[in-house]
Amino acid sequence: MQQPDPKEIMILNRIVVFSVIVFFIIIAAIYLLFISGKTGQYSDFEDYIFGTYVRIRISSKINPSTISKAIFAEMKRLEKKFDPYVESSIIYKLNHSEDWVEVDDETLSVIDLALKIARDTEGAFDPALGRLIQLWGFSKFTEREATGTFTVPSASEIAEAASKSGYQKIAIDYVNKKIKTNGAWIDLGGILKGYALKRAYQIAKEFDKSCHGFVETGGQIMILGPKYNKTNWVIGVRDPRGQPGENITIVYLSEGSVATSGDYERFFIVDNVRYHHILDPRTGYPANKAISATVISNDPVIADAFSTAAFVLGEDRWLFTRTVFPKYGAEVLLVTPKKRLLRTDNFKIYEMSDR
């Protein structure tokens, strides 16, 4: 019998090893193709609305540009409709009418929700501070900042505007779909971005239920779906006394919304005192018992309004915030004026990366 040639065996072995390697490379390539096909590439879009940049990062089987355009158009519609200082808006009409004003369903439900949140937060969130916001100059912030024409109103001016403000003055007639402001001015600045993000989510999901990514407006993010459809988004919470990009903590979220209200967003300084845009309805002055408040909630409207409220309640009324806010689905991180971090019990969970 003939003995096998050792050289031939070696060559055969090499061919087998080579084939196995090629086989695995092909399998890996197919796997990678499959994965990338499933997650898709993200597309980014940006527009300037609500006095801030709105960013959309989205992956969808529908044209992402079509979805983004629809979202931006909706946000611009809301900006126009609810701007209290533009004569054509429904809010201007309500604020400048002494009588009942007939409103559409959307206006009624947004104002109704804002009033409910005012009651739930014992008035810390107050959607009827328009007169005070205008007096302080925050209704024309961009222009004032450009011209440097900020002044601190006098104590009597503040007392006068405060006496004509407050959510208790707003009345709703649900039967006839009418609202009466009784001299107070509605300003939905503390809830409107959250409502716009809620609409953004609805629009994106109407186009494509399985789209994923996020929409970001100034200090708030609404998640459309997990990163690559499988992992958490890593979201930095800004250090209120740091530069943009410097974080005080990081949260990991695959759904819902996170909003931050801070005294660094819109402010001016006179005689070394910082005056910012979040007012304490009890005093008529900027709230000064916190420097930032962050709320995580599944509902972006809750995240927005409750972050403003948590800021106003501040360190002094923290026990109320930490006891009551989670009942409304709002988990809070408060940064006190001395930069102490206060958290509701479940907030910590979002700071863990390996959930």
Residues that bind ligand AMP (CB under 6 A): 125-127, 129, 133, 138, 187, 189-190, 261, 265, 277-279, 281, 304, 307-308, 312
Residue nearest to ligand AMP (CB): 189
The least distance separating ligand AMP from the CB of residue 217, rounded to whole angstroms, comes to 10
**142 annotated binding-site participant:** no
Distance, in Å, from the CA atom of 152 to the CA atom of 285, rounded to the nearest integer, reads 10
Q: Is 170 in a helix, a strand, or coil?
A: coil
CB of 168 to ligand AMP, least distance (A): 14
Q: How far is the CB of 40 from ligand AMP (least distance, A)?
A: 32
The nearer residue to ligand AMP, 58 or 186, going by C-beta atoms, is: 186
* 281 vs 314 by CB, closer to ligand AMP: 281
Task: Residue 126: name the closest of 169, 79, 66 by CA.
Answer: 169
User: Collapsing DSSP states into helix, strand and coil, what is residue 288?
Assistant: coil
Nearest 10 degrees: Cα torsion 15, 20, 22, 23: 140
- With CA atoms as reference, report the closest residue to 107 among 96, 120, 121, 93: 93
Which residues, 6+ apart, have CB-to-CB distance to 341 below 8 Å? 248, 249, 333, 334, 335
Asked if residue 304 belongs to a known ligand binding site, the reply is: yes
Considering the rule CB under 5 A, would residue 190 count as an interface residue with Mg ion? yes
Cβ contact 248:242 at 8 Å: yes
Stretch of 22-30, 124-132, 163-171, 253-261 lying at the interface with Mg ion (CB under 5 A): 253-261
Q: Which residue number places its CB atom closest to Mg ion?
A: 308
Shortest Cβ 307–Mg ion spacing (Å): 4
Q: Which stretch binds Mg ion (CB under 5 A): 98-106, 183-191, 262-270, 275-283?
A: 183-191
304 forms part of the interface with Mg ion (CB under 5 A): yes
Least Å from the CB of residue 187 to ligand AMP: 5
Closest residue by Cα to residue 196 from 112, 77, 115: 77
292, 307, 321, 344: residue in contact with Mg ion (rule CB under 5 A): 307
- As a 3-state breakdown, the chain gives helix, strand, coil percent values, each rounded to 5, of 40, 25, 35
SS3 195: helix
According to CB under 5 A, which residues from 40 to 99 bind Mg ion? none
Instruction: Using CB under 5 A, list all residues that contact Mg ion.
Output: 190, 261, 304, 307-308
> Which residues define the annotated binding site for Mg(2+)?
190, 304, 308
